[in-house]
């Protein structure tokens, strides 16, 4: 199920399996978003202005 796939982590192998099971779903925009590259300085500015912690732990305290 999708829940099991989410628990595994969405790596390339899991993504391929999901796409094969769900051929009616378009991944066009997901693929485009994955190509977006944001400069590190912009990420830091976003985090600072949003009051987010930058600690290498996904923002978790």
The pLDDT tens digits for 9-49 are 778 888 888 889 999 999 899 889 989 999 999 988 998 89
Domain extent listing, the chain = 2-49
pTM of the model: 0.47
The total of other beta-carbon atoms located within 10 Å of residue 31's CB is 9
Structure tokens at 56: 């290498």
Q: Which residues are CB-contacts of 54 (< 8 A; sequence separation ≥ 6)?
A: 44, 47, 48
- Helices and strands in the chain, H and E counts: 4, 0
Chain centre distance of CA 46: 17
């Amino acid at each position: 199920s999708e829940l099991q796939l989410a628990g595994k982590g969405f790596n390339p192998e899991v993504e391929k399996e999901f796409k094969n099971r769900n051929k009616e779903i378009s991944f066009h925009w997901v693929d485009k978003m994955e190509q977006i590259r944001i400069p590190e300085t912009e990420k830091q500015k976003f985090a600072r202005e949003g009051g987010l912690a930058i600690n290498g732990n996904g923002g978790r305290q």
